[in-house]
């Protein structure tokens, strides 16, 4: 069995496992990585970019090295390779948890229980829930669904197709480090700089693919492309900008504006100003769009890997 088939079967199995089972209930590898990264931070922390870069190299590099050893151990054994790819994909993809949390908040809002929705919001994003009314919570959820579709699903599939199990694990490690130390708090402004910049680089291809697929799978393809072209560059994040703008246009809603993180108020650009304000019902629409984008991303990345492998074999045949 060729490497492209191993990857295709493993990635499909892992994504199916995520859709049906969600995240592992106990002993989640990402949680274990987070604890290890926290221990490394306690050992290395200095208010300095260089020490932060060392932290990034130790944590992300160590995760990739372990994944590479595991992949090499099963090389030449198709069934074991498929199982490893499937397990890694299941562990690093978080689409089911994303949709589950979004729908839980939507149910609370539909029942008129804004306090319960505020209580659940931190499981999905870092906004200050007490500063938000029902519509503000709904907008925060739609924006988080959009961004995390790229971070928790599409980006991992892209790097898995490009670099196999080490790519899957490496992407999730970098993304987790960014969530832990990449924010602009006083403690992590310098120490987390390397993690944040590496996450920007690693997330670039997945974010663009997510934006394209949201336009393809959404209700308003032209609106998605228009919002992406007009508004994405004004967003402070080079990757969240295209994704959130494309989702906004695809859903026909308006995202962005004033928000609060950790007591810090930010005024972000409006995305798709021609759209209407977000309402609770748009959470379910965003969740369904996220699911469609994830499935399309699986097809695109598997096809891209197969095409690259075929082209490589053809080139070798011409030169032999």
Domain residue ranges of the chain, discontinuous segments joined by +: 3-319
Mean pLDDT across the stretch 227-254? 96
258 band by pLDDT with thresholds 50, 70 and 90: confident
Q: What confidence score (pLDDT) does residue 310 get?
A: 85
Task: Let me know: does 125 contact 140? Beta carbons within 8 Å.
Answer: yes
261 band by pLDDT with thresholds 50, 70 and 90: low
Task: Let me know: does 41 contact 55? Beta carbons within 8 Å.
Answer: yes
Q: What percent of the chain has pLDDT over 70?
A: 97
DSSP string, 21-51: H-S-SSS-HHHHHHHHHHHHHHHH--SSHHH
pLDDT in tens, 67-101: 999 999 999 999 999 999 999 999 999 999 999 99
Q: Please check the confidence at residue 25 and state whether its pLDDT lies above 80.
A: no
pLDDT in tens, 293-312: 999 999 999 999 999 888 87
- CA gap 197, 10 in Å, rounded: 30
260 band by pLDDT with thresholds 50, 70 and 90: low
Q: What percent of the chain has pLDDT over 90?
A: 81
Say which DSSP state 127 is in: B
Q: What confidence score (pLDDT) does residue 171 get?
A: 98
Helix boundaries (H) for the chain: 3-21, 29-44, 49-73, 78-92, 95-110, 114-120, 134-149, 155-181, 193-217, 221-231, 240-251, 281-319
Say which DSSP state 150 is in: I
Q: What confidence score (pLDDT) does residue 262 get?
A: 60
Q: What confidence score (pLDDT) does residue 118 get?
A: 94
pLDDT in tens, 274-290: 999 999 999 999 999 99
Q: What confidence score (pLDDT) does residue 23 get?
A: 80
Task: Let me know: does 38 contact 180? Beta carbons within 8 Å.
Answer: yes
Q: What confidence score (pLDDT) does residue 149 get?
A: 98
pLDDT in tens, 202-234: 999 999 999 999 999 999 999 999 999 999 999
Q: Please check the confidence at residue 263 and state whether its pLDDT lies above 70.
A: no
Beta bridge partners of 265: 260
Residue 192 backbone dihedrals phi, psi, to 5 degrees: -90, 5
- CA gap 141, 306 in Å, rounded: 35
Tell me which of 46 and 314 has the higher pLDDT: 46
Q: Please check the confidence at residue 3 and state whether its pLDDT lies above 90.
A: no
Mean pLDDT across the stretch 140-168? 97
pTM over 0.85: yes
Mean pLDDT across the stretch 257-261? 70
- CA gap 103, 85 in Å, rounded: 29
Q: What confidence score (pLDDT) does residue 220 get?
A: 96
320 band by pLDDT with thresholds 50, 70 and 90: low
């Amino acid at each position: 069995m060729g490497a492209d088939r191993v990857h295709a079967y493993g990635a499909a199995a892992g994504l199916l496992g995520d859709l049906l089972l969600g995240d592992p209930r106990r002993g989640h590898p990402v949680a274990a990585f987070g604890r290890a990264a926290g221990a490394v931070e306690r050992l290395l922390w200095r208010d300095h970019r260089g020490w932060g870069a060392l932290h990034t190299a130790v944590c992300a590099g160590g995760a990739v090295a372990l994944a590479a050893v595991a992949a090499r151990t099963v090389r030449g054994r198709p069934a074991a390779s498929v199982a490893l790819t499937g397990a890694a994909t299941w562990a690093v993809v978080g689409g089911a948890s994303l949709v589950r949390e979004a729908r839980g908040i939507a149910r609370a809002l539909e029942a008129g229980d804004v306090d319960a929705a505020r209580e659940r919001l931190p499981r999905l994003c870092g906004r200050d829930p007490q500063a938000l009314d029902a519509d503000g919570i709904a907008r925060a959820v739609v924006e988080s669904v959009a961004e995390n579709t790229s971070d928790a699903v599409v980006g991992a599939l892209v790097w898995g197709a490009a670099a196999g199990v080490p790519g899957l694990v490496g992407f999730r490690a970098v993304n987790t480090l960014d969530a832990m130390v990449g924010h602009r708090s006083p403690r992590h402004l310098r120490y987390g700089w390397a993690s944040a910049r590496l996450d920007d680089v690693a997330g670039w291809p997945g974010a663009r693919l997510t934006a394209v697929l949201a336009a393809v799978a959404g209700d308003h393809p032209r609106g998605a492309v228009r919002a992406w072209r007009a508004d994405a560059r004004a967003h402070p994040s080079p990757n969240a900008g295209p994704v959130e703008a494309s989702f906004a246009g695809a859903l026909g809603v308006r995202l962005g504006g004033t928000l609060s993180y950790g007591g810090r108020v930010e005024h972000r650009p409006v995305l798709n100003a021609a759209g209407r304000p977000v309402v609770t019902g748009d959470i379910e629409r965003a969740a369904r769009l996220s699911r469609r984008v994830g499935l399309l991303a699986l097809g695109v990345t598997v096809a891209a890997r197969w095409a690259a492998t075929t082209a490589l074999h053809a080139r070798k045949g011409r030169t032999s």
